[in-house]
Amino acid sequence: MFKKNNIKVSFEFFPPKNENLEAGLWNCVQSLKDLNPDFVSVTYGAGGSTRKRTHSIVSKLYKDHKLPTAAHLTCIGASEKDISEIAETYWQNGIKHIVALRGDLPDGHDHKSDQYAYAADLVTALKNIADFEISVAGYPEKHPECQSIEQDIENLKRKVDCGADRIITQFFMNPEDFLLWRDRVVSAGIDVPIVPGILPLNHYGRAVSFAKRCGTKIPLWLKDLYQGLDSTPTMRDRVSVSVAYEQCRILQENGVDQFHFYTLNRPELVKTVCHLLGIR
C-alpha cells in the first residue's frame, strides 16, 4: 500500500490550440489542484507555436490558482534575446522554475544562428540570468536523434553540469526500461532527482503516433490490452488507469517517490491513478 506522505506528484498541462478549447484546460487544473502537486508545468507547441498562450497560462496558474508553476522554455522558436526577456519577466513575476528544453524543429526549418543550439546552453543562460530552479528532459529509451544511449547520457550530464536541478523523463511504458536507465545515469555521476514521466493512455492509436515522434517503445502486450476498446471508452479508461498504476507501483517498489503526470488535459485518469497511490 502506498503512503501518501512518501510520494510527490507533478502535473503537466498542454496549452489549447485556441480559446474555444481553453475551458477544458481550466477544468483539468481545477480538478487536480487540490492534490497538492509539487509543481505544475505548461508545454509549448512544436517550434514554440503556442508560446504566447503558454506564457499567459503560466501566469494565471501562479497568480490566480496559487500553484507552484514551472514554465517551459525551448531553444527552438525564440532567439537568445527573446529567452532573456522571457526569463527576466518570469523571475520578476515570481515564476522561478523553468523546464529547459531544446525543442523539436518544425519540418522544413533549420536551426537559426541567433538561437541556443542545445538545452545545456539554455540552462547556462538561465542560471546567468537568475538562480532559477531548472528541470531538464531525460530519455530512458534515448533521444531519437542520439546514436547511442551512452551519447544521450553524456548530453544529459552536460545539462546537469551546467546547473540543472532535476530530470523529468519522457514517457515510457516498461518500468524496467526506466530502472535500467536510471542505474546508468547514476553510474555516470549524475546525482540530481530523476522523476519518471507517466502518461495514462487515453487512446492507443494516438499513443502510438506520439511514441513514434519521441522514440518510446509501445510493447505488444499493450496493444493486446487495448484491442477492441475503441468503442467502449469506460472500459478503456479502466485499462489505462490500471496500466499507469502498475507502472507507479513497480517504480515505487524500486525507490521512486516522485511522479510527473502528462495529463493531456484529461484529469479523470490522472486523478484516479493518484487516488490509488493514496493522494486524495
Active site residues: 12
Roughly what angle, to the nearest 10 degrees, separates helices 233-253 and 267-276? 40
H helix or E strand, kind and range, residue 26: helix 22-32
Query: Quick one: which H or E segment has residue 183?
Result: helix 175-187
Structural contact between residues 102 and 122, judged by C-beta atoms closer than 8 angstroms = yes
List, in order, residues 6 or more apart from 59 with CB less than 8 Å away.
93, 95
**If you search the block for the grid coordinates 555521476, which residue do you land on?**
189
Cα gap 187→228, rounded to integer Å: 43
Question: What does the alpha-carbon distance between residue 189 and residue 263 come to, in Å, rounded to a whole number?
Answer: 31
Dist CA 21 CA 30 (whole Å):
15
Find out whether 273 and 35 touch, Cβ atoms under 8 Å: no
Cell of 226: 487495448
